Amino acid sequence: MKDPVCGMDVGEKGEALLHDGKEYRFCCASCRWAFEQNPEQFIES
């Protein structure tokens, strides 16, 4: 999986977040925090 904020490859060990029924994984807590603040900015339509 790719971190939707920074684009880094992350595996099963990455920080996880469920948003609108889809799981996203992040390389670190700061990328997860940025996503939580404005998910639409990072989700591809």
CA angle at 23 for the pair 17 and 42, rounded to the nearest 5° = 75
Residue 44 has pLDDT above 80, yes or no: no
Q: What pLDDT was estimated at residue 13?
A: 83
Q: What pLDDT was estimated at residue 39?
A: 96
| Best CA proximity match to 6, nearest among 22, 23, 28 | 28
Q: How many domains does the chain have?
A: 1
Domain with 4 in it: 1-45
Q: How far apart are CA 29 and CA 44, in angstroms?
A: 21
CATH number at residue 39: 2.30.170
- In tens, the pLDDT along 1-34 reads 899 999 999 988 888 999 999 999 999 999 999 9
Residue 45 has pLDDT above 70, yes or no: no
